[in-house]
Amino acid sequence: MQGNLPSREYLAGLFQNVDKDRSGSITANELGAALLNGSMSPFNPETIRLMIGMFDRDNNGTINFEEFCSLWKFITDWQNCFKNFDRDNSGTIDVNEFRQALIMFGYRLQESLVCLMHKKFDRHGRGTIYFDDFIQCCIILQNLTSAFRKKDSDLDGVVTLHYEEFICLVLDAKV
């Protein structure tokens, strides 16, 4: 084992447990059935779709073992980050904890945008974000940032776009 990464043998066993149809790849349904939130509720299906899209390098709609290993590392990293900011161990993060997580990721966003994002990903309307919604937010923010950077050639944080370019930018960001 390297650091806190499990061995390939351990991950292979997990992969086989999740790959219920023994196809050698994991579908969104199989992954969704295997992942639980800290609240013991299933992951948001949209989060599952985004994670598959992020790690499906051959674009076949499923993830193979190598893609699964990458996904496992990212879920573990996100979980460790989430736990660092879930200071009361509630299984959720409030807007202040969320703001601190974004700052740690290098995002210095206006308070109004942080509140808007928190509200958007507070699926249950309780003023808190669950782990799966946190992952969804992180993926979308990362995808939008990457798409924006492609247009921000001088890296000044400002781009000029026509409406259709904007729509293409958002759609290409896999949100």
Dihedral (CA of 94, 100, 103, 108) sign? positive
- Helix intervals (H) in 35-162: 45-55, 65-85, 95-104, 111-121, 131-151
pLDDT in tens, 36-83: 776 667 888 999 999 998 899 988 999 999 999 999 888 888 888 898
pLDDT in tens, 116-172: 999 999 988 999 999 999 999 988 998 889 889 988 989 898 999 999 988 888 887
Asked if the model's pLDDT at residue 4 lies above 80, the reply is: no
Asked if the model's pLDDT at residue 2 lies above 60, the reply is: no
What is residue 93's predicted lDDT score, i.e. its pLDDT?
94
Q: Does pTM top 0.95 for this prediction? A: no
Angle at 93 between CA 69 and CA 29, to 5 degrees: 40
Calculate the dihedral angle through the C-alpha atoms of 43, 49, 55, 59, rounding to the nearest 10 degrees. Answer: 160
What is residue 3's predicted lDDT score, i.e. its pLDDT?
47
Per-residue pLDDT band at 1 (split at 50, 70, 90): very low
Domain over 8-172 is classified CATH 1.10.238.10: yes
Q: Which two tokens stand for residue 76?
A: 């573990």
* 84 in Cβ contact with 97 (< 8 Å): no
Q: Which two tokens stand for residue 138?
A: 């992180």
Asked if the model's pLDDT at residue 111 lies above 50, the reply is: yes
Domain boundaries of the chain, sorted by first residue:
8-172
